[in-house]
């Protein structure tokens, strides 16, 4: 493999991940015995929980909350090494049909991962105290979805194809989720959810490529830098756009993953890439700490959360075609855990937008 680093290889059979509550119960138990814990086996899954909210910027508007729970399989020689994909049932047959259409599906020089995620996004206008329809401001909207992604990689390149499907509107449960959070924090409820975009089944196909343009370069011991660029596109009834971005990192004992992802299409990148990653060390340098900076831009052709429903009339605003993000953050890896915080500054997403868009993104990963 290029990069001079050995990949991990999964065993011949790998089952589905256990239930989420078992994962985090196990994570909590590992914290208490970490001094004696061994490194995870090569056939390890990685679970990541993302939480994003504009409370980190002391605001409550626009993209106001996101949550996502994802599981990434061990490294696989072939996608069908995952036991679920070798079974004779309809979901496996559909997944295998999709896999057979993917580029590089028969390239023996690559390794592969499958990831499964569920998530919810929430959007509100600037003034949530008004119950009437605010035509010039962002629509109330929610997105409750599940996704399956297929990753194909070498040490220096990661290609991801992801399928998302879910519901907008009341079926997204965004109103109920926000009411619950506001009640817990003692904040007045938003009054305009009766104007949200309607329930609609949404789908999207996403492709993303990440390139390690600057492999890890160490100096002064374990201090080092690296850089990754990415580009891709999405198409569907939910969002259609093209994207481009880059991330640079500086710190101690940098991991060999593909960066730190916020909640975005094909953004599941927290899994270790090879055996040099601190999460795969039994002794020695099991600690990693670094800061990072990233920029990203999107050319937006469709965004259901701004354009409104696809198949019927609903509240909509005129979107900005170009949207950019600036991200600053820090990550800490200790043995099997990775904890990250990102602060995101986002440019205006619709014409006449009043007020900046900022939010924080917290993620915790556990390799088990």
Tens of pLDDT, residue by residue over 208-246, are 999 999 998 988 888 999 999 999 999 999 999 999 999
**In this predicted structure, what is the pLDDT of residue 278?**
84
CA atoms within 13 A on the CB side of 204: 29
- Is residue 281 within 8 Å of residue 255, measured between CB atoms? no
Give me the mean pLDDT over the 113-135 stretch.
Answer: 95
Q: When comparing pLDDT for 242 and 86, which is higher?
A: 242
- Asked, for residue 199, whether it belongs to a domain, the answer is yes
- Asked, for residue 15, whether it belongs to a domain, the answer is no
- Asked, for residue 12, whether it belongs to a domain, the answer is no
Here the tokens at position 118 are 């569920």
Tell me the CATH number at 201.
2.40.128.140
**In this predicted structure, what is the pLDDT of residue 325?**
97
Least confident of 79-83, 104-108, 155-159: 104-108
CA angle 5, 292, 68 (to 5 degrees): 90
Report pLDDT digits (tens) over 261-315. 899 988 888 788 877 788 887 766 788 999 999 999 999 999 999 999 998 999 9
Give me the mean pLDDT over the 122-129 stretch.
Answer: 96
Give me the mean pLDDT over the 147-160 stretch.
Answer: 93
**In this predicted structure, what is the pLDDT of residue 11?**
37
Per DSSP, what are the bridge partners of residue 14?
A: 82
CB atoms within 10 A of CB 245: 21
Q: Kindly list the distances between the CA atom of residue 304 and the CA atoms of 7, 28, 60, 146, in Å, as whole numbers in the listed order.
A: 40, 38, 20, 17
pLDDT above 90: residue 94:
no
Instruction: Give one word for 55, left, alpha or beta, with left for phi > 0 and alpha for psi -120 to 50.
Output: alpha
Instruction: Give one word for 175, left, alpha or beta, with left for phi > 0 and alpha for psi -120 to 50.
Output: alpha
Q: What DSSP assignment string belongs to 65-101?
A: EEEEEEEEPPPBSSGGGBGGGGS-SHHHHHHHHHHHH
Distance between CA 184 and CA 117 in Å, rounded?
Answer: 26
Distance between CA 70 and CA 85 in Å, rounded?
Answer: 18
CB atoms within 10 A of CB 327: 20
- Asked, for residue 8, whether it belongs to a domain, the answer is no
Which residue in the block uniquely carries the two structure tokens 């009341």? 170
For residue 260, give its domain range: 20-33+42-367
* Residues whose CB falls within 8 Å of the CB of residue 184, separated by 6 or more in sequence, listed in order: none
pLDDT above 80: residue 13:
no
Distance between CA 249 and CA 214 in Å, rounded?
Answer: 10
Q: What percent of the chain has pLDDT over 90?
A: 63
pLDDT band at 41, cuts 50/70/90?
low
Distance between CA 65 and CA 67 in Å, rounded?
Answer: 7
Distance between CA 98 and CA 207 in Å, rounded?
Answer: 13
* Structural domain count, the chain: 1
- Asked, for residue 173, whether it belongs to a domain, the answer is yes
Report pLDDT digits (tens) over 334-347. 988 999 999 999 99
Q: What percent of the chain has pLDDT over 70?
A: 88
Q: When comparing pLDDT for 41 and 1, which is higher?
A: 41
- Asked, for residue 248, whether it belongs to a domain, the answer is yes
Give me the mean pLDDT over the 194-217 stretch.
Answer: 96
Nearest to 342 by CA among 22, 62, 51: 51
pLDDT above 70: residue 5:
no
- Asked, for residue 13, whether it belongs to a domain, the answer is no
**In this predicted structure, what is the pLDDT of residue 283?**
63
- Asked, for residue 7, whether it belongs to a domain, the answer is no
């Amino acid at each position: 493999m290029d990069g001079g680093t050995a990949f991990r290889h999964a065993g011949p059979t790998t089952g589905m991940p256990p239930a989420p509550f078992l994962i985090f119960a196990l994570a909590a138990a590992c914290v208490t015995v970490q001094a004696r814990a061994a490194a995870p086996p090569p056939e390890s899954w990685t679970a990541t929980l993302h939480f994003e909210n504009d409370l980190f910027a002391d605001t409550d508007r626009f993209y106001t909350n996101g949550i996502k729970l994802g599981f990434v399989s061990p490294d696989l020689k072939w996608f069908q090494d995952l036991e679920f994909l070798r079974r004779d049932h309809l979901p496996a047959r559909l997944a295998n049909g999709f896999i057979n259409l993917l580029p590089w599906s028969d390239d023996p020089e690559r390794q592969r991962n499958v990831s499964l995620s569920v998530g919810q996004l929430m959007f509100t206008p600037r003034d949530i105290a008004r119950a009437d329809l605010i035509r010039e401001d962002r629509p109330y909207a929610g997105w409750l979805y599940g996704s399956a992604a297929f990753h194909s990689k070498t040490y220096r390149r990661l290609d991801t194809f992801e399928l998302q499907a879910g519901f907008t509107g009341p079926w997204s449960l965004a109103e109920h989720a926000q009411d619950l959070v506001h009640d817990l924090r003692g904040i007045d409820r938003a009054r305009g959810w009766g104007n949200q975009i309607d329930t609609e089944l949404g789908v999207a196909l996403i492709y993303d490529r990440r390139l390690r343009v600057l492999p890890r370069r160490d100096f002064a011991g374990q201090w080092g830098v690296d850089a990754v660029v990415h580009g891709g596109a999405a198409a569907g009834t939910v969002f259609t756009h093209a994207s481009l971005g880059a991330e640079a990192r500086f710190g101690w004992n940098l991991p060999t993953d593909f960066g730190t992802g916020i909640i975005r299409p094909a953004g599941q990148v927290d899994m270790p890439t090879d055996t040099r990653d601190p999460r795969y060390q039994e002794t020695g340098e099991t600690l990693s700490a670094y800061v990072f900076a990233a920029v990203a831009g999107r050319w937006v052709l469709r965004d259901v959360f701004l354009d409104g429903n696809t198949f019927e009339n609903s509240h909509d605003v005129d979107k900005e075609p170009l949207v950019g993000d600036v991200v600053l953050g820090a990550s800490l890896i200790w043995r099997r855990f990775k904890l990250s915080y990102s602060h995101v500054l986002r440019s205006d997403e619709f014409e006449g937008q009043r007020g900046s868009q900022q939010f924080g993104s917290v993620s915790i990963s556990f390799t088990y």
